[in-house]
Structure 1
Amino acid sequence: SLRIAVQPGGCSGLRYQLFFDDRSLDGDVIKDYNGVGVVTDRMSSPYLGGATIDFVDTIEKQGFTIDNPNAGSSCACGDSFS
């Protein structure tokens, strides 16, 4: 499963952590999107409501992108949000 967490950090205060994880911890929210398991912890879930997560693979960019309507602002480098 793909685990998505929101942690303190970055110049805007919060940053995403994405990694593959086979564990299921107490309080996790687990959803399936077209055969891909997505796991969030109880504390991160409110920050991710309504967010769109995609994987981009182009010449200019490769990796996960997150479009989050809950993010009020983000830093210039795009690494963190508030």
Structure 2
Amino acid sequence: MTVESTQETTEQVTGVVLTDAAATKARDLLEQEGRDDLALRVAVQPGGCSGLIYQLFFDEREMDGDQVQKFDGLSVRVDRMSAPYLTGATIDFVDSIEKQGFTIDNPNATGSCACGDSFN
């Protein structure tokens, strides 16, 4: 008698995911600034119609408790308060006729406003 065992593995995603397009755009922006000492900081702050808004900016600080990830040479930092809201979120850069800019697909968001700038 042969017994087959099937085992499901679940990949645990920690931190954020940065697409190649987003990483390339962020590196290009840093290059234009002439700075190589900055990291892309991704944060969540109170605000917007739905309660929370995303913030993406370049930052030279490394704060206590930051999650730091590297994406093809680009350092991405998420502060410890924002990390639970951003675990598994995918940051992309879109450049089309309708829209240009960074977008965030967040599996933790339960709702968003019509403008798409804030979430809860």
TM-score by length of 1: 0.94
Q: Which residue of 1 aligns with 2:57?
A: 19
Q: Which runs of 4+ in 1 moved over 3 A?
A: none
Looking at secondary structure, tell me which structure has more helix per residue: 2
How many residues align structurally? Answer: 82
TM-score by length of 2: 0.65
> CA offset at residue 34 of structure 1?
2.0
> CA offset at residue 55 of structure 1?
1.1
| Residue 54 (structure 1) aligned with residue 92 (structure 2) | yes
Which runs of 5 or more residues in structure 1 are unaligned?
A: none
CA distance in 2, matches of 1:72, 1:19: 24
Write the letter of the residue equivalent to 2:65.
Answer: G
Identity %: 73
More moved, 72-81 vs 50-59: 50-59
3-state DSSP of counterpart to 1:4: strand
Q: Which residue of 2 aligns with 1:28?
A: 66
Write the letter of the residue equivalent to 1:73.
Answer: G
Which runs of 5 or more residues in structure 2 are unaligned?
A: 1-38
Looking at secondary structure, tell me which structure has more strand per residue: 1
Q: Which residue of 2 aligns with 1:45?
A: 83
Larger radius of gyration: 2
How much is the aligned-residue C-alpha RMSD, in angstroms?
0.9
